[in-house]
Amino acid sequence: MKLLLLLCLMDCFLAIAQTSSGTFNVLNYGAMADGISDDSKAFMAAWKAACSFTGGVKLLIPKGTYLVGPVKFDGPCRNVSSITVSMEGYMKASTNLSKYVSGDDWIQFGWVHHLTLTGGGTFDGQGALSWPFNECSKTEKCRVLPSSIKFVYTEHTVMNSIKSLNSKFFHIVLLGCKNFWGSNIVAQAPSDSPNTDGFHIERSLGVNIYNSVITTGDDCISIGQSNEQVVISGITCGPGHGISVGSLGRYENEGDVKGLLIKDCTLSGTANGLRIKTWKNSPGKSSVSNLTFQNIILNSVANPIIIDQAYCPYADCSSKVPSLVSIRDIIFSDIRGTSTTPVAVTLKCSSGVPCENVNLHDVHLRYVGGSPTIAECLNVQATYSGTQLPLPCN
């Protein structure tokens, strides 16, 4: 009797849950899916309906080609318990830059909780037409082009089985996110495309990115200021500029970066492998601590391991003021492969705040040119254990 009652209770519960779940198909909100008409309004309308619903909801973007301009999928969705965006189509970004008003990115998910973005679809930023307008590699006073997929202050987000192609700027951006899991993501742009970072992470807590393939013109993954508990694993990267912490220390009031684990990755043909870079002449103090790089294969990488605290890509940085970003408790463990330059390990820390407790364990990096690799160090307190190729500098 009790069991029956319990079963009934569960049934009733399920029945309620089912009636309060809804699927919102963009085709029912006016999307043309012809790749020519602008479907932005239809997408926003479908999102608005989904976001106003009660219970678990699904925004469905079925197979088909969609042309869309900047779209904001913003919450809060107060009565929604979870929201799945099933992106099964091929989405093309509008190439008309005047549609992106200042600071707009292309597809934004903001202030939503329990969001899943999945479906095997492709976000094509159509960046090739915009890249010539990117001056940011040459000058500070540049127009920042729209990034493709941006998560802003989302909590409990899952992103998987998504492809991002030829972003105008960064492919995927996390800003102020809490608990993010990204997997089976492909981000792809030509090796000479400017600022097409695969992932850029900033002000986030609890980020896991794994089993993904990133080939771009800039960093595969860049970890900016104020991040905590970031785990990156199973990433195949290259070409591109590698995995980078920073650049940091460019602006005032930047937050610390701490608790970062990067493991089981392979980087091939990248400009850098594992990099920490901070600007010289930083206006404020911040720190980088508790970083572990473990079991990483670097194939034909120009700067396999590099800490650079005198970063300054523009011509007008003659300042002699050192970086004020302190770096400590860093482990490089089981790092092996080949370097395309003789200097395979660069630990160039700041004269203002020398690096503390940098540990290299089992590092084996051969120069493809034949002669032995070397290490260059400045203002660093480092310890070594296990295999060391190059030999430690000291």
Ligand X SMILES: *[C@@H]1O[C@H](CO)[C@@H](O)[C@H](O)[C@H]1NC(C)=O
Chain residues that interact with ligand X, rule: CB under 6 A:
52, 54, 78-79, 96, 98-99, 229, 259, 261, 290
Rounded least distance, CB 259 to ligand X, Å: 3
Rounded least distance, CB 153 to ligand X, Å: 18
From the candidates 113, 171, 200, 241, give the one annotated as an active-site residue: 241
Separation of alpha carbons 348 and 276, rounded Å: 10
Rounded least distance, CB 188 to ligand X, Å: 26
Q: Which of residues 100 and 170 has its CB atom nearest to ligand X in the complex?
A: 100
Rounded least distance, CB 98 to ligand X, Å: 4
Would you say 110 and 153 are in contact if contact means Cβ atoms under 8 Å apart? yes
Rounded least distance, CB 78 to ligand X, Å: 4
Distances (CA, A) of 32 to 24, 168, 202, 283, 359: 15, 24, 35, 50, 57
Q: Which of residues 23 and 54 has its CB atom nearest to ligand X in the complex?
A: 54
Q: Which of residues 164 and 244 has its CB atom nearest to ligand X in the complex?
A: 244
| Dihedral sign from CA coordinates of 341, 342, 347, 350 | negative
Q: Which of residues 95 and 300 has its CB atom nearest to ligand X in the complex?
A: 95
Helix (H, G, I), strand (E, B) or coil at 38: strand
Tokens 């254990």 belong to residue = 385
Q: Which of residues 98 and 394 has its CB atom nearest to ligand X in the complex?
A: 98
Separation of alpha carbons 135 and 127, rounded Å: 14
Would you say 313 and 371 are in contact if contact means Cβ atoms under 8 Å apart? no
Would you say 302 and 270 are in contact if contact means Cβ atoms under 8 Å apart? yes
Active-site residue flag, 241: yes
Would you say 220 and 249 are in contact if contact means Cβ atoms under 8 Å apart? no
Cα–Cα nearest to 231, from 286, 293, 298 = 293
Q: Which residue is nearest to ligand X (CB)?
A: 259
Structure tokens at 191: 């090796």
**Do the bridges between strand 355-367 and strand 55-61 make them parallel or antiparallel, or are there none, so unpaired?**
unpaired
Q: Which of residues 58 and 348 has its CB atom nearest to ligand X in the complex?
A: 58
Per DSSP, the residues of 39-64 read: -HHHHHHHHHHHHTSSEEEEEEE-SS
Separation of alpha carbons 85 and 161, rounded Å: 12
Rounded least distance, CB 218 to ligand X, Å: 24
Separation of alpha carbons 393 and 278, rounded Å: 22
Q: Which of residues 161 and 208 has its CB atom nearest to ligand X in the complex?
A: 208
| Dihedral sign from CA coordinates of 280, 145, 150, 171 | negative
Rounded least distance, CB 364 to ligand X, Å: 24
Separation of alpha carbons 351 and 361, rounded Å: 25
Separation of alpha carbons 10 and 46, rounded Å: 31
Residues with a catalytic annotation lie at 241
